[in-house]
Structure 1
Amino acid sequence: MSQVLDEGPFFHGTKADLRVGDLLTPGFRSNYRPEVVMNHIYFTALRDGAGLAAELAVGEGAPRVYAVEPTGAFEDDPNVTDKKFPGNPTRSYRSAEPLRVLGEVADWTRQTPEALEAWRERLAALRADERGQIIN
């Protein structure tokens, strides 16, 4: 029997316009390192964390947060757990299996333009730093 990492609910942030029942799958370019095609799909149990991801996502669409459910096994996201933060305070996960969209979530906290710019600057600094590599 495998250990349950988190009971959820779970969320995924994106600029894609999705529908209930759609499946989110790995195999797309990273929002943070566009030269990397991701082997996993990422999600979080923190609604506002998904909101931040949505606002930082590439693309022209509006940032959106979706409630999702994993369709298979998932693990702690090694890009933020232990490598950068002890444990998993961000409640961030990844799966090689699809996530099923359960519906769009409207009640998440938007970032201020200043906060978004600060996040973009941090991400640009990470891209320039060899230690900022994605564990794919």
Structure 2
Amino acid sequence: MENQKDEQILDNGPFYHGTKADLQIGDLLTAGFESNYYPEIIMNHIYFTALKNGAGLAAALAKGDGEERIYIVEPMGQFENDPNVTDKKFPGNPTRSYRSQDPVKIVGEITDWIKLTDEELQSWKERLAKIRENPDAEIIN
């Protein structure tokens, strides 16, 4: 299965998706839902990372009251570097963050990652609030 654009291998994974949703192995995650960070935007992509703790951050910041969860996911089609962090904020892709318009399939779940402290979580929420207040802030969807 070809998993990358331009036939260039971006990353071999494993890949992770952080959320508060209670999902099952075999479920497909798809685009078309509200952004966790910009609820007025319907996302054209599904996002994932090759870093467990990066997925943990996404889980901590996800909407909802559910338990933070990190799922191991397998891209079902092509994917690309996430332009919201790649080069725009960090040269290259040190966060190993990706996105796809194709579904990703849940193939497992992990429970061992470094969770944010209450202070770290509050700091991230404040950063996101400042970004939202900036009229020049742009999310590449």
Secondary structure at the residue paired with 2:123? Answer: helix
Match of 1:40 in 2: 45
With normalisation by structure 1, the TM-score equals 0.98
Q: Equivalences for 1:1-136 in 2 at 5 Å?
A: 2-136=7-141
Provide the rounded CA distance (Å) in 1 between the counterparts of 2:96 and 2:137: 20
Q: CA deviation at 1:7?
A: 0.3
Runs of 5+ unmatched residues, structure 1: none
Q: Where has structure 1 moved over 3 Å in runs of 4 or more?
A: none
Provide the rounded CA distance (Å) in 2 between the counterparts of 1:99 and 1:133: 25
Provide the rounded CA distance (Å) in 2 between the counterparts of 1:9 and 1:22: 17
Number of matched residues? 136
Secondary structure at the residue paired with 1:131? Answer: coil
Secondary structure at the residue paired with 2:17? Answer: strand
Secondary structure at the residue paired with 1:127? Answer: helix
Runs of 5+ unmatched residues, structure 2: 1-5
List per-residue Cα deviations over 1:89-119 (Å, max 9, x = no partner).
Answer: 0000000000000111111110000000000
Q: CA deviation at 1:130?
A: 2.3
With normalisation by structure 2, the TM-score equals 0.95
Q: CA deviation at 1:131?
A: 2.9
List per-residue Cα deviations over 1:35-72 (Å, max 9, x = no partner).
Answer: 00000000000000000100000011111000000000
Provide the rounded CA distance (Å) in 1 between the counterparts of 2:138 and 2:122: 21
**Percent identity over paired residues:** 65
